[in-house]
Structures are given as structure tokens and as C-alpha cells.
Amino acid sequence: MKASELRNLSLDDLQGELNEQYRTYFNLRFRQAAGEDIGTAEMKKARHEIARMKTVLTEKQRQQEQQTSQEST
């Protein structure tokens, strides 16, 4: 998913997508440990997707914090 698509999701939806991506990455690691031939590109893609989601999630959380602090002053 592209970052622009992720930015259109709500915080809860984004957290759900992140959890799903963690499960996918875990399954890839598990399959690799079991001896299955997993391409390194697939592992790298999963890690990058997780990083992208975490970045957008942090951006949204900081934006929400700034809005609540501005409303209280």
C-alpha cells in the first residue's frame, strides 16, 4: 500500500493493517526458519511496508496530539 493510501485511513484501520503486516512478516520468517526457500526481496518488502505504516501512524498520532493541545489552549 502506498503512503498516500495509508494517510487516508483512520488510526484504527491503520493499526489493523500494521498488525496484519506484522503477521505476514512473522509467517515469512517462520517459513524461512522451517527451511522453505523464501526470497529475500519478499522479506525486504514486508519490512519496508511495516516501516511505511509505522511512519504514517506516527505522523497521524502527532497531528492528533497537536490538534488536541491547540484546542485546550
Q: Is the pTM of this model over 0.75?
A: yes
Q: How far is CA 43 from CA 1, 16, 17, 46, 60, in A?
A: 16, 20, 17, 5, 26
- Give the pLDDT confidence of 27-63 residue by residue, as tens digits: 999 999 999 998 899 999 999 999 999 999 999 999 9
Please report the pLDDT score of residue 23 as a whole number: 97
Please report the pLDDT score of residue 30 as a whole number: 95
Q: Which residue has the higher pLDDT, 70 or 44?
A: 44
Q: Give residue limits of the domains in the chain.
A: 3-72
Confidence of residue 69 (pLDDT cuts 50, 70, 90): confident
For the residues 13-36, what does the mean pLDDT come to?
A: 96
Q: What's the CATH class of domain 3-72?
A: mainly alpha
